[in-house]
Amino acid sequence: MPPPDLLSSQGLRLDGRRPNELRRIRCKLGVFTQPDGSAYLEQGNTKVLAAVYGPHQAAKSKSSVEGVVVNCQYSMATFSTGERKNRPRGDRKSQEMSLHLRQALTAAIKTELYPRSQIDIYIEVLQADGGAYCASVNAATLALVDAGVPLRAYACACSASMAWRGAQPEPLLDVGHVEEAAGGVVLTVASLPSTGSIALLELSHRLHSDYFEMVLSRAMQGCKDIEIVLDKAVREHLAEGWTKQDVVTI
């Protein structure tokens, strides 16, 4: 039987959330001065920094006349995981993450505006407690906004899993590390909530097709909720007016 313990009989998850609740999201735009755009985002105990450089002239080999080249690098601090990581990046998983980030963010950026240019997006995961990819996409979106890169829509990512409450299947939103480790399925969706389209979808483990719809719609709902949070953060940031990077040094 699937692990029944993810939901208590009172319908609460291990950390006390209800199935349709996101983890606490806190974020801030413009945390650094040197990058063109930067953002910090916390989703529960998962903490991510994102920096955006560009658009700037593309390296010759990468240059494209079609549109801007989006270059992503996903890196995890060696102390970010429970057991220490030996390398911050370059391993298989980080490379895959970089590709997935690029996939999701390219869909959000109006690439056609900057042919022969390049945008660098760097993600640094400071603490990983499940859903690092989702937090990275969300942070990168904020950093892109901070950098003033024109976007089609916010790119938001959210994960969802499945649990049983009695005999009823119940999708869980925004899966934490404990729930991930319990071995259940994790469906990760990066979407552009305002257009309703999916930019990237990834499924780990097996999920019965009967439940796919249900889990997906919960994840999509999560993306919409995240969009609201991000949008609020952006508006607050802009309302603050001048930010660090606007102060010219020397």
Residues near another protein, by CB under 8 A: 1-2, 8-10, 12, 14-17, 21, 23-24, 26-28, 31-35, 38, 40, 42, 44-45, 47, 49-51, 53, 71, 73, 75, 77-80, 82-84, 88-90, 120, 122, 124, 126-127, 129, 162, 164, 166-167, 176, 178, 185, 206-208, 210-211, 249-250
Q: What minimum distance in Å lies between the beta carbon of 113 and another protein?
A: 20
Beta carbon nearer to another protein, 109 or 215: 215
Beta carbon nearer to another protein, 90 or 241: 90
Q: What minimum distance in Å lies between the beta carbon of 67 and another protein?
A: 19
132-147 and 209-239 helices, crossing angle to 10°:
30
Neighbouring C-alpha atoms within 13 Å toward the C-beta of 57:
2
Q: What minimum distance in Å lies between the beta carbon of 111 and another protein?
A: 19
Q: Cis before residue 193, ω within 30 degrees of 0? A: no
Q: What minimum distance in Å lies between the beta carbon of 200 and another protein?
A: 22
Beta carbon nearer to another protein, 64 or 127: 127
Beta carbon nearer to another protein, 11 or 196: 11
Beta carbon nearer to another protein, 122 or 154: 122
Largest CA distance in the chain: 66
Residue type, 224: K
Report how far apart, in Å, the C-alpha atoms of 239 and of each of 37, 39, 159, 211, 242 are.
17, 16, 31, 42, 9
Q: Collapsing DSSP states into helix, strand and coil, what is residue 169?
A: strand
Burial 186-225 (b: 16+ CB within 10 A, else e): bbbbbbbbeeeebbbeeeeeebeeeeeeebbebbbbbbeb
Q: Whole-angstrom Cα distance, residue 75 to residue 49?
A: 10
Q: What minimum distance in Å lies between the beta carbon of 195 and another protein?
A: 29
Report how far apart, in Å, the C-alpha atoms of 180 and of each of 3, 85, 198, 210, 217 are.
11, 19, 22, 21, 19
Q: What minimum distance in Å lies between the beta carbon of 201 and another protein?
A: 18
Beta carbon nearer to another protein, 193 or 222: 222
Q: What minimum distance in Å lies between the beta carbon of 122 and another protein?
A: 4
Please say whether the dihedral angle defined by the alpha carbons of residues 57, 58, 63 and 69, taken in this order, is positive or negative. Answer: negative
Beta carbon nearer to another protein, 24 or 232: 24
